[in-house]
């Protein structure tokens, strides 16, 4: 179960990295190629939304796992 929690957290943070890197690329491409900057804007929005959704899903899963275990964290 601990490996699954780590995987969920890693996936969540990878989406945030995608969003941040896309924002950086937007700044770099804005004056050079506006259409490419808009593509990265789409990536940034997608990354941010996915980060929030994955975070909510992970927190809900952890709450469910904690209630299933009778509020004991014996696997951590």
Query: Is residue 24, in this structure, part of any structural domain at all?
Result: yes
Query: Is residue 17, in this structure, part of any structural domain at all?
Result: yes
Query: Is residue 74, in this structure, part of any structural domain at all?
Result: no
Alpha helix stretches (DSSP H) within 1-76: 2-29, 34-68
- The pTM of this model reads 0.80
Query: Is residue 76, in this structure, part of any structural domain at all?
Result: no
Number of domains in the chain: 1
* Each residue's pLDDT tens digit, 22-64: 999 999 999 999 999 999 999 999 999 999 999 999 999 999 9
Query: Is residue 55, in this structure, part of any structural domain at all?
Result: yes
Q: CA-CA distance, 39 to 27, in Å (whole number)?
A: 12
Query: Is residue 44, in this structure, part of any structural domain at all?
Result: yes
- Residue that the structure tokens 């996915």 belong to: 50
Q: Which domain holds residue 46?
A: 2-67
Query: Is residue 27, in this structure, part of any structural domain at all?
Result: yes
């Amino acid at each position: 179960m601990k490996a699954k929690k780590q995987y969920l957290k890693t996936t969540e943070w990878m989406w945030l990295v995608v969003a941040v890197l896309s924002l950086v690329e937007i700044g770099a491409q804005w004056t050079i190629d506006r259409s490419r900057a808009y593509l990265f804007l789409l990536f940034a929005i997608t990354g941010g939304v996915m980060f929030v959704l994955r975070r909510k899903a992970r927190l809900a899963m952890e709450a469910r796992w904690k209630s299933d275990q009778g509020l004991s964290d014996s696997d951590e």
